[in-house]
Amino acid sequence: MKKLLFILPILAIALFASSCSSMKGASNYEVGMEESDFLKIHPEAVISSLEGTQKTYRVVRDERFYLLATFEDERLIKLEEKELPPYWNKKTAPTKEEEQ
């Protein structure tokens, strides 16, 4: 009986820890992922630059941030998250009257 009282809390903690880690979800990006997999996740991605064997895609995440994903030989080599300049946001962009 004493062994059961000792083992039961340990099993409960282990079960709780494993359930938390499984709910975390898989990360969307990893270095080396294929370009086609990235484009399946983000069909709205647009090519931002082409330099030699490197291709960079831009994906607007929300009103303030965008991603730059750089691929070389169809594999992800670099992922950057950047903040959009305030004037890119149409809600805060100055009107023509304010510019003059």
Q: pLDDT for 20-71, tens place per residue? A: 544 444 457 888 999 999 999 999 999 999 999 999 999 998 888 999 999 9
- Within a domain: residue 11? no
Please state, in angstroms and rounded to a whole number, the distance separating the CA atoms of residues 28 and 56: 17
- Within a domain: residue 63? yes
The total of structural domains in the chain comes to 1
- Within a domain: residue 38? yes
pTM of the model: 0.60
Range(s) of the domain holding residue 73: 31-93
- Please tell me the predicted confidence (pLDDT) of residue 84: 86
- Within a domain: residue 49? yes
Identify the burial level of 48 via C-beta atoms within 10 angstroms of its C-beta, where 0-12 means exposed, 13-18 middle and 19 or more buried: middle
- Within a domain: residue 4? no
- Please tell me the predicted confidence (pLDDT) of residue 16: 61
Helix (H) or strand (E) holding 28: none
Give pairs for 93-97: CB < 8 Å, separation 24+.
none
- Within a domain: residue 9? no
